[in-house]
């Protein structure tokens, strides 16, 4: 069994969920720079959250844990097994406080607004779903900087506490969606190793909720 684990904000939550299923996750807490760990017949890949669905979809990992935001943005061909109910955050539309009313007015009157985001598919879907126009600028770094330097009118981004928004004088204009960590499986692994995958999912069910 090979498991893809995301670095970053939901790493510790992911380890707790995997530990609840009986997997030997303590090896992942060893202080080194390995990206592939082995323990008790299980291999763990540690990678960027955006890479986890790729490893799982193409069979480099049998299962993985990833935020719902990543799944909505990438729409990978994987089996979404469970909402782990951890790593809660919100996808939001935000703008600098001094520009907020202007941006609201532009959106209300169907004017084109420039939007910076790491989530172009989600941002585009949000505006198209409301019959509004937007120029989407895809970035990979600090999204909050874009409206402060005139690159964009507003941003679509993920926030958990709102601290970074407040520190950069940004206010939330709309809440687009919420995101939590999800357990996903490769379609082939789910079919060929169903008993093993199902047993792992069952071990996580105390706090999680099955999908579908």
As a whole number, mean pLDDT of residues 123-146 equals: 95
What tens digit of pLDDT does each residue of 90-109 get?
999 999 999 999 999 999 99
pLDDT for res 103: 96
Helix, strand, coil shares of the chain, percent, nearest 5, are 35, 30, 30
pLDDT band for position 205 (50/70/90)?
Answer: confident
Cβ atoms 2, 58 nearer than 8 A? no
Give me 77's structure tokens: 């061909």
Whether the pLDDT of residue 212 is over 60: the answer is no
pTM of the model: 0.90
**36 alpha carbon, distance to own chain's centre:** 21
Sign of CA dihedral 59, 60, 65, 67: negative
As a whole number, mean pLDDT of residues 87-91 equals: 96
pLDDT for res 209: 62
pLDDT for res 29: 86
Write out the DSSP string of 51-115: GHHHHHHTTS-SEEEEEHHHHHHH--S-EEEEE---S-EEEEEEEEGGGHHHHHHHHHTT--EEE
Q: Which domains does the chain have, with CATH numbers?
A: 2-88+179-206 (3.40.190.10), 89-177 (3.40.190.10)
What tens digit of pLDDT does each residue of 113-125 get?
999 999 999 999 9
**140 alpha carbon, distance to own chain's centre:** 14
pLDDT for res 204: 87
Task: Report d(CA 18, CA 65) in Å as an integer.
Answer: 9
Site of tokens 């979404």 = 80
| Higher local confidence (pLDDT), 60 or 209 | 60
DSSP state of 144: T
Selection from 176, 66, 49 nearest residue 115 by Cα: 176
pLDDT band for position 178 (50/70/90)?
Answer: very high
What tens digit of pLDDT does each residue of 1-33 get?
999 999 999 999 999 999 999 999 999 988 778
As a whole number, mean pLDDT of residues 184-210 equals: 87
As a whole number, mean pLDDT of residues 36-49 equals: 94
Q: State the chain's mean pLDDT as an integer.
A: 94
pLDDT for res 207: 59
Q: CA angle, corner 137, sides to 112 and 125, nearest 5? A: 65
């Amino acid at each position: 069994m090979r498991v893809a684990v995301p670095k970053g904000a939901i790493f510790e939550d992911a380890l707790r969920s995997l530990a609840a299923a009986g997997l030997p996750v303590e090896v992942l807490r060893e202080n080194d720079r390995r990206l592939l760990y082995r323990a008790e017949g299980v291999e763990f890949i540690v990678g960027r959250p955006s890479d986890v669905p790729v490893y799982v979809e193409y069979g480099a990992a049998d299962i993985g844990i990833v935020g719902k935001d990543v799944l909505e943005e990438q729409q990978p061909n994987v089996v979404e097994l469970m909402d782990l109910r951890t790593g809660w955050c919100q996808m939001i539309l935000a703008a600098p406080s001094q520009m907020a009313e202007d941006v609201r007015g532009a959106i209300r009157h169907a004017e084109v607004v420039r939007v910076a985001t790491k989530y172009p598919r989600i941002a585009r879907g949000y505006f198209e779903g409301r019959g509004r126009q937007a120029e989407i600028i895809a970035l990979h770094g600090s999204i909050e900087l874009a409206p402060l330097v005139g690159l964009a009118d507003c941003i679509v981004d993920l926030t958990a506490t709102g601290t970074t928004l407040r520190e950069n004088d940004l206010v939330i204009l709309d809440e687009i969606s919420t995101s939590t960590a999800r357990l996903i499986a490769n379609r082939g692994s789910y079919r060929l190793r169903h008993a093993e995958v199902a047993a792992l999912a069952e071990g996580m069910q105390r706090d999680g909720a099955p999908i579908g």
